[in-house]
Structure 1
Amino acid sequence: MSDALIDSLTAAVAARPDDVALRLHLAELLVGAGRLGEAIGHAAQVLARDPANEAARRVMASALPGGTPDPAPPAAPGVDWAALEDEFSGVVPPRFAPAGDEPEPVRGDADRAFDVERATVTLADVGGMDEVKQRLELAFLGPLRNPKLRTLFGKSLRGGLLLYGPPGCGKTFLARAVAGEMGAAFISLSIIDVLNMWVGSSERNLHDLFDAARSHAPCVLFLDEIDALGHKRSQLSSSALRTLVNQLLTELDGVGGGNEGVFVLAATNAPWDIDAALRRPGRLDRTVLVLPPDETARATILEYHLRDRPVAGIDLRALAAVTENYSGADLAHVCESAAEFAMRDAIATGEVRMISQRDMTAAVRDVRPSTEAWFATARSVVMFGNSGGDYDDLAAYLKKRKLL
């Protein structure tokens, strides 16, 4: 499936969030591309508006692990199923488990179904984002490095921070770099790790993930696409999804087990869709706007994505100057497109050549910044939904760009 098509549809959905047909088409393409977490997020938003939407249910079933199977055909009259089970017992498992059978219990962290990583990147590997790094230093890293000052000022090691901004600008990479900077464990949680078709299983999955973070403290628990996991309950018609939001609130409060040493970082492209209770003090009470990379960072990102390709005569500064508002993902796509141009010529002529400045310039013209649709939506939010001042930093940026 073409990433360019998916990116275009994603931008279109961001500009027209109420277009159910368009969102479902994007979700189906995401399932076909193997991007199940994103597909589930879009299907969940459709079901929040219309719980009876059959197309959204089919997408959700196909994307979730162990989705609803097709019903078994009725048994033919006169078939001795018991005899057939005995005959093929060495090949086919029994249709029904014997009464009294219990699943094997979980035996410690090694038997769990999620990964606890050790990040190898640090904030030094993140290009630009100086303001974001400073905010992270004050919120998390400074107190961790200075235990005496932390004790003196009564600063707890627990905390939650929300990273928001346009898609493809490095929020996930930034969270991983924070874990690497702290030398802490890293657990990444997406909606596909939580949602389950059985009643109560989603809440248990969420509890188990938080328990794993507590047992590996200090640990960075990264909640990706938090708007899908913690959508506004007032907009949810599904009681199961509302219960899941309640469970997330309980885990963030550390009820039944303190969250000391658990640093919760969440990321979203749509903070205005998050339940207000998630952003109360003690939960995700601090926000950081992650913007598209500045000119210096764009040059660094381009250099990174060209480092293993045959290039000659590339002017990174000139390219960085004409790619304002391009996200990190957009810049990676530019490098990929330039490589395709050079490879196409090599196939046509039979002569291999280097990737040139001409290829890069053509790729920049061909790849449009994916952040434009997001900023169009953000502008409306700032104009009509910022009475509490939650998006003052975003408003300042839009005014600086003369978009407000």
Structure 2
Amino acid sequence: MLDDAGLQALREAARLSPDNLPLRRHLAEQLLAKGYLADAEAEFRAALVLAPKDADITAGLAEAFVRQSAYGAALSALEPFLASPGYPPRLGIIAARALLGEGETGKAAYRYYEAISRDPSVADPELAERLTVATTGHSSPPPPPPPAAPPDSSEEEVERSKLTFADVAGMEAVKESLRVKLLLPIQQPELFAAYGKRAGGGVLLYGPPGSGKTHLARAAAGELGAAFVNVGLADILDMYVGSSERNLRATFDLARRNRPCVLFFDEVDALAARRSDMRQAHTRQLVNQFLAELDGVDQHANEGVLVLAATNAPWYIDVAFRRPGRFDQMVFVPPPDATARAAILRILCRDKPLAEMDFDAVARATEHLVGADLKGVVDRAVEVKLQQSISAGRPIPMSTADLLAAAKGAKPTAVREWLATARNYVLHANESGAWDELMPWIKGKR
């Protein structure tokens, strides 16, 4: 219930004139300005029905999401605008806040400084200070705005992950594989040196979308206390011939300068696809460059550089990447079972006001949901509790019933589709034995 007479009058006017777009927008902005975040969100949504492509209304909705810590929802709302060149700089500032809330420090810094380079009036000194602290670990004057073009790979931010394996629910076999392959050679170098094993190497994480591959890579860096470089396709791929290869080389050089370093390539199948499937010579050259960087100019070039890559489609990756010394270990990151889902829910809810919870009951009701889906369930439950808490004027603890209600509308993102594709490869295209690790899981899901 609103306790502001002016807002109550505006709301009543909007109720009587539901198609009055300026009135709805004004009401939403006033609600946002006075901190009625859930109400503001509802009004911005209603306004977007009337004007689906209005950037200002979208900005207001995203701002309401950010202030409720629903960072993923904010980025989803902004995404159609951010994908187009020349988007309003204000949207870039809001996106930077959401990305920072998601822990994507490098991307947040890029969005912020790109926005103020086009319109200095949208600068947010407080946000700039938070970005500086997040990227450097101490307070300092913000760097000058970069050019509007995306930053070169050599300018990528090196992160320091605060996550560890304790923040990764389940996946004990996967974590143990990473410890032996990547972490222990750096943590116990004398022992591994006695057997001629160097610190470094590559592991390919594969599994259905949303199963936690990126989260696992960040936790590996945090477990080691190493630098973390998160490489996306936009950091490497370039329209000009030769530029993609230079970006890739600069990325490896950045990791070598900051060793020990976890260098993480997401959606690596786009950079390491089978050369036999490529029609253009310059795309094959990018694969060759990737292989050369993994090998290094000498046997010690990549010592201390732990290369992790993630893909949903490992069967499309060139077989040369699985040669010893490259991505010689493939690790399946499965969808979480009921025990792991309960553990994920505990981690997602640990910093929120809670009543007595039965996470096992929620886990049983969320079969086939992966970590990203479970985060969406928690976010929806939190949004409902926020609205109730604002109306009550006090925090209302979240209960098992809230999570179960949010789970009812949740749909598995892509597990079933991925499973069908994986089954085809396991049963009909596994002459080399590359997919033997999937066999027990596939058979168990028939």
Q: Same fold (TM over 0.5)?
A: yes
2:210 counterpart of 1:168: yes
Q: How far did 1:353 drift?
A: 5.8
Which residue is 2:145 aligned to? Answer: none
**Structure-2 separation of matches of 1:179 and 1:358:** 36
- CA deviation digits over 1:310-342, x for unaligned, max 9? 543532111112223211101011112233455
* One of 340, 343, 349 as aligned partner of 1:297: 340
Which residue is 2:251 aligned to? Answer: 209
CA contact (8 A) 2:189 2:199 kept: no
- CA deviation digits over 1:142-163, x for unaligned, max 9? 2222222212111122311100
Which residue is 2:362 aligned to? Answer: 319
2:433 counterpart of 1:385: no
- CA deviation digits over 1:275-316, x for unaligned, max 9? 111111111110100112233332222123334445435321
**Structure-2 separation of matches of 1:230 and 1:129:** 26
**Structure-1 separation of matches of 2:439 and 2:225:** 35
Q: Which moved more, 1:336-345 or 1:192-201?
A: 336-345
The gaps in structure 1 that reach 5 residues or longer are 3-27, 37-65, 67-110
Distance 1:34 1:276, change over 3 A: farther
CA contact (8 A) 2:182 2:199 kept: yes
CA contact (8 A) 2:203 2:330 kept: yes
CA contact (8 A) 2:359 2:400 kept: no
* One of 238, 255, 266 as aligned partner of 2:309: 266
* Aligned-pair Cα RMSD in Å: 3.0
Q: Report SS of the residue matched to 1:245.
A: helix
**Structure-1 separation of matches of 2:161 and 2:263:** 12
**Structure-2 separation of matches of 1:345 and 1:262:** 48
Q: Report SS of the residue matched to 1:203.
A: helix
Which residue is 1:178 aligned to? Answer: 220
Distance 1:214 1:318, change over 3 A: same
**Structure-1 separation of matches of 2:186 and 2:236:** 29
Distance 1:343 1:121, change over 3 A: closer
**Structure-2 separation of matches of 1:248 and 1:143:** 23
* One of 229, 234, 240 as aligned partner of 1:198: 240
What does 1:2-401 align with in structure 2 at a 5 Å threshold? 32=80, 34=82, 112-255=154-297, 258-342=301-385, 355-370=398-413, 371-401=415-445
Bigger share in helix: 2
**Structure-2 separation of matches of 1:399 and 1:367:** 26
**Structure-2 separation of matches of 1:348 and 1:181:** 42
Which residue is 2:110 aligned to? Answer: none
- Which amino acid in structure 1 is aligned with residue 80 of structure 2? G
- Report sequence identity in percent: 49
Distance 1:141 1:352, change over 3 A: closer
Distance 1:196 1:124, change over 3 A: same
Q: Report SS of the residue matched to 2:202.
A: strand
**Structure-2 separation of matches of 1:147 and 1:340:** 48
- Which amino acid in structure 2 is aligned with residue 391 of structure 1? W
Q: Which moved more, 1:168-177 or 1:331-340?
A: 331-340
**Structure-1 separation of matches of 2:438 and 2:208:** 11
- Which amino acid in structure 1 is aligned with residue 168 of structure 2? V
Q: Report SS of the residue matched to 2:155.
A: coil
**Structure-1 separation of matches of 2:315 and 2:83:** 24
**Structure-1 separation of matches of 2:78 and 2:442:** 31
Distance 1:149 1:30, change over 3 A: same
CA contact (8 A) 2:199 2:303 kept: yes
Q: Report SS of the residue matched to 1:281.
A: coil
- CA deviation digits over 1:36-81, x for unaligned, max 9? 9xxxxxxxxxxxxxxxxxxxxxxxxxxxxx9xxxxxxxxxxxxxxx
- Which amino acid in structure 1 is aligned with residue 430 of structure 2? N
CA contact (8 A) 2:167 2:347 kept: no
**Which TM-score applies when normalising by structure 1?**
0.68
Q: Report SS of the residue matched to 1:282.
A: coil
- Which amino acid in structure 2 is aligned with residue 149 of structure 1? L
Q: Report SS of the residue matched to 1:160.
A: strand
Which residue is 1:85 aligned to? Answer: none
**Structure-1 separation of matches of 2:181 and 2:198:** 10
CA contact (8 A) 2:154 2:247 kept: no
- Which amino acid in structure 1 is aligned with residue 424 of structure 2? S
